[in-house]
Amino acid sequence: MSEERGQRRGKREEVSATVELTWKDRSGVDCYAAAEALDISELGMRLEMKTPLDARSYVTIPKLGLHGTASVRACVRQGPRRFWVGLEFSGGLKWRGAGQSKD
């Protein structure tokens, strides 16, 4: 885990929030799933969910003040039906923590 944290470009804050994700599968079918947000930074976030996502696919995140898309950077199995999904925000999307300027 320390190697992963060394690669982070920004400080992550722990969060505990349920988010709904939408994406298109390989066939172009719309998919939806709930995920638990574990931590977040200005440029990305880590989720825990029951559904694996393909790396380099795009998801839409309509909660946490993040109305935009993110790219799946990693999806790692954490148990029989648990996956940690690392997202990188795309299209200029950035998360601003409480008390940060909106500039």
Tell me the pLDDT tens digit for each residue of 80-98: 899 999 999 887 767 766 5
Amino acid at the residue 4 = E
The pLDDT assigned to 99 comes to 44
- Residue ranges covered by each domain of the chain: 2-89
What stretch of H or E contains 5? helix 2-7
Amino acid at the residue 15 = V
Query: Coil, strand or helix: which one is 98?
Result: coil
- Confidence band for 62, pLDDT divided at 50, 70 and 90: confident
The pLDDT assigned to 9 comes to 60
- What six digits make up the tokens of 41? 């930074």
Strands (E), 1-103: 13-24, 30-40, 44-49, 58-61, 68-79, 82-89
The pLDDT assigned to 102 comes to 41
User: Options 2.40.10.220, 3.40.50.720, 3.40.50.300, 1.10.3720.10; which CATH number does 2-89 get?
Assistant: 2.40.10.220
- What six digits make up the tokens of 82? 């648990």
